[in-house]
Amino acid sequence: MKYLILSDIHSNVEALTAVLRRVQRKRFDRVIILGDVVGYGADPNLTVDKVRRLKRSIIIRGNHDKVCSGLENGEMFNKVALESARWTEDKLLPRHRKWLASLPKGPVRVGEWISISHGTPLDEDAYIFGEIEALNMFNYFDTRVCFFGHSHFPVLFGLDREALTTHIPHTNGGTYRLKLREDSRYLINPGSIGQPRDGDRRASFGIFDDQRMTMTILRVSYPYERTQEKIRAAGLPAPLADRLALGR
Ligand SMILES: [Fe+2]
Query: How far away, in angstroms, is 139 Cα from ligand 1 center?
Result: 24
Residue 174 pLDDT grade (very low, low, confident, very high; cuts 50, 70, 90): confident
Query: How far away, in angstroms, is 143 Cα from ligand 1 center?
Result: 24
Give dist(CA 140, CA 122) in Å, integer: 6
Task: Report helix, strand or coil for 80.
Answer: helix
Residue 168 pLDDT grade (very low, low, confident, very high; cuts 50, 70, 90): very high
Query: How far away, in angstroms, is 97 Cα from ligand 1 center?
Result: 17
Question: What single string gives the DSSP state of each residue in 49-63?
Answer: HHHHT-TTEEE---H
Per-residue pLDDT tens digits for 89-123: 999 999 999 999 999 999 999 998 999 999 999 99
**209 DSSP β-pair partners:** 2, 214
Question: What single string gives the DSSP state of each residue in 122-190?
Answer: S-TT----SHHHHHHHGGG--SSEEE--SS---EEEEE-SS-EEEE----TTSEEEEEPPTT-EEEEE-
pLDDT recorded at residue 39: 97
pLDDT recorded at residue 171: 77
Yes or no: say if 24 and 229 are a contact pair by the CB < 8 Å rule.
Answer: no
Query: How far away, in angstroms, is 151 Cα from ligand 1 center?
Result: 7
pLDDT recorded at residue 19: 97
pLDDT recorded at residue 184: 98
Query: How far away, in angstroms, is 80 Cα from ligand 1 center?
Result: 13
For 104, list phi and psi in degrees, rounded to 5: -70, 155
% residues pLDDT > 90 (the chain): 95
Average pLDDT, the chain: 96
Query: How far away, in angstroms, is 183 Cα from ligand 1 center?
Result: 31
Residue 33 C-beta-side C-alpha neighbours within 13 Å = 30
Query: How far away, in angstroms, is 189 Cα from ligand 1 center?
Result: 12
Per-residue pLDDT tens digits for 182-224: 999 999 999 999 999 999 999 999 999 999 999 999 999 999 9
Q: What is the pTM of this model?
A: 0.97
pLDDT recorded at residue 74: 93
Per-residue pLDDT tens digits for 37-75: 999 999 999 999 999 999 999 999 999 999 999 999 999
Query: How far away, in angstroms, is 116 Cα from ligand 1 center?
Result: 15
Q: Which amino acid is at 168?
A: I
Give dist(CA 134, CA 74) in Å, integer: 26
Q: Which amino acid is at 220?
A: V
Query: How far away, in angstroms, is 36 Cα from ligand 1 center?
Result: 5
Query: How far away, in angstroms, is 128 Cα from ligand 1 center?
Result: 12
